[in-house]
Chain A
């Protein structure tokens, strides 16, 4: 029987930091990632990060991935890439397919760090070739060197919409417009200003109504929306685009959480269905932890911190004694609190309040 102490599912920022933290505290760790290399979404993020220096502010995403990957070099950690986890079960068994071959591994503790997927938006023609998730196009461009279109409409002016728009300009595409249904730009002003300097219109209070074309995107119709986000008749406007990108939010990839039976709740502030957990990121199923976007849609920096909390807690929870790990965990909690402070963190704080239960799901040794 294949056995490990901690299994980490997902090798993004949360999973990598969780694995490193658990191994540092003494546990033997196996990391699963379905891609051919670890790093998650970081490896396509060519922009510099904001935030505090401890969470690698000023560093580009792909470099942060390299730093975190170094920590996976510990002899206690085995990294399995091209390894898709199929299911997690109540007896600690993980079934997975590695390089097309089925196998299973039993773990004493499981950290679910599967991340998120892009949300689809509802409009006529949203299934035509030429309609992409903005994150998917970022992967195509920055990882595979593929530019999928020339004239782009971006839907959504959050950070992903703004950053990918700028990277499209860098890659030689023309961004005809960014539409944002809300009255305000959601992303950082510095990203938005940069785009405005390049002459990209950011149109708030507008959204996409339909895509024109039978076999592929030949254009798009945008229109004004009222405060209830319903279209206002007569405000339609045609844009000549061959690509429509959706940056309309992320939802947690929670299938494995459902699979193992963690108690969940719909918390819109955190992106959708998330597992309830204690302040050590342990779910209602003892020994099962969550970290990163699967727990709440936030930034890579908070994912890293949640990973440290989950990783140290998993190791401490199974009996490893480490004062250093306890310190690391307390520090990570404090830094996470600081990250979520202020006006920008208000929504997340509200969501976290609903997701974190008072009780400890399992006593930590």
Chain B
């Protein structure tokens, strides 16, 4: 492991690997990435493998667009190859007129930003997702610019692109402290030695608050467990991800035929990173799944696993410099690091390189919490 680097990135998930690649692409190659386990042990490797554009805020829609533009070329650009991108779209379902009205507003916003989404009635919804039950369904919004990406392949592509350009990746390397002198970052201490650096990026996802505490910065991200069920594979139909605010769930079929489904949790225990699956999720999710897709009653569940969301007070990303410590940057995806990886990497790399950023950094900065400028997005579970 190097003992000196221009930039040290903490975290080997979608955010960290993307930052590594995007820095290297801009000529900053004296970079070391530290991962406590292996790439991608955390949320990225456990997620539902989807990216979307249908958000209800300018900030998130723009992040989505910026990310997708990078995903489209990433496989080729890095020489990694196919990333299994399938733009099957999302359908955000509504079971009440009121919620469809909110979606109508979101679609208006999306269209104004160049996202090609539109409203479907119940019958049209059934046409795009033949297995969706229309019981009680009023309609939904639909867009085809979003869909599936293999998150493993995505991070391996980022890793390849970064290491080919000279970035050093270190697995099983735990950060034990960060030295700050005169308000500036000086070094990162790990279980494998110390690295002198003037620039640290915290891309530690759900564990970010612990990294923040090392330099006296409160990063308002709490770990919260989320789980996924996978069914046995059946014939693949290219159909959109079903995203239901009423049920608090997502349901999607991945290219090899398995259905994945997950839900928001009624009760989460904050403050603990915990990957243990629970049986009550199995039962609750199975019921919610069958309610929306009745044929699930005939499918076997073959697997269940847990991952961690790092949740922020407004469920949106936190990016960029912090005011208290010079050289300390935050890059927390806050539940969306995989789908926003392209944008997170681009923006943070641009900021570190001193370039004009593709989007205004103040939208996403950590200072928004103190200044009361939260990102208000009605299209997030």
By a beta-carbon cutoff of 8 Å, the part of chain A in contact with chain B is: 86-87, 89-91, 93, 95, 97, 102, 104, 255, 259, 261
Contact = CB atoms under 8 A, between A and B. Distances in A.
A87 B276 CA distance: 11
A86 B301 contact: yes
Interface string B258-297: 0000000000000000011111001100100000000000
B78 interface: no
Given A91-B279, A104-B279, A259-B304, 8 more contacts: A86-B301, A87-B277, A87-B279, A87-B304, A90-B278, A93-B279, A95-B282, A261-B275
Contacts of A95: 279, 282-283
Nearest to B301: A86
A90 B277 CA distance: 8
A91 B301 CA distance: 20
B277, B279, B283, B303: which has the most chain A beta carbons within 10 Å? B279
A89 B277 contact: yes
B42 to A, nearest CB: 16
A190 B290 CA distance: 56
Contacts of B276: 89-90, 261
Contacts of A91: 278-279
Nearest to A93: B279
Interface in B301-332: 301, 303-304
9 contacts: A86-B282, A87-B304, A89-B276, A89-B277, A93-B279, A95-B279, A95-B282, A95-B283, A97-B300
Contacts of B279: 87, 89, 91, 93, 95, 104
Contacts of B283: 95
Contacts of B300: 97
A104 B301 CA distance: 15
Contacts of B275: 261
Nearest to A285: B276
A95 B300 CA distance: 13
Nearest to B282: A95
A86 B303 CA distance: 8
B278 A89 contact: yes
Nearest to A88: B279
A90 B286 CA distance: 20
A102 B275 CA distance: 24
Contacts of B277: 87, 89, 259
B92 to A, nearest CB: 30
A103 to B, nearest CB: 11
A182 B193 CA distance: 44
A255 B230 CA distance: 14
Contacts of A90: 276, 278
Contacts of A86: 282, 301
Contacts of B304: 87, 259
A89 B301 CA distance: 15
Contacts of A102: 286
A20 B275 CA distance: 34
B46 to A, nearest CB: 13
B2 to A, nearest CB: 29
Nearest to B303: A255
B273 to A, nearest CB: 13
B320 to A, nearest CB: 36
Interface in B231-282: 275-279, 282
A340 to B, nearest CB: 32
A128 to B, nearest CB: 19
A86 B286 CA distance: 13
Contacts of A259: 277, 304
Nearest to A104: B279
B133 to A, nearest CB: 20
B286 to A, nearest CB: 8
A93 B277 CA distance: 11
A93 B276 CA distance: 13
Contacts of B303: 255
Nearest first, the 8 closest Cβ-Cβ pairs linking A and B are A93-B279, A89-B279, A95-B279, A90-B276, A261-B276, A95-B282, A89-B278, A87-B304
A91 B280 CA distance: 11
Contacts of A104: 279
A104 B282 CA distance: 11
A91 B300 CA distance: 23
A91 to B, nearest CB: 8
B290 to A, nearest CB: 12
B272 to A, nearest CB: 13
Nearest to B304: A87
A123 to B, nearest CB: 22
Contacts of B282: 86-87, 95
A255 B277 CA distance: 13
Nearest to A97: B300
A87 B279 CA distance: 8
Contacts of A93: 279
A87 B283 CA distance: 12
A159 to B, nearest CB: 31
A102 B297 CA distance: 11
Nearest to A258: B305
A261 B286 CA distance: 22
A112 to B, nearest CB: 16
A267 B125 CA distance: 50
Nearest to A95: B279
B274 to A, nearest CB: 9
A267 to B, nearest CB: 19
B181 to A, nearest CB: 40
A90 B279 CA distance: 9
A255 to B, nearest CB: 8
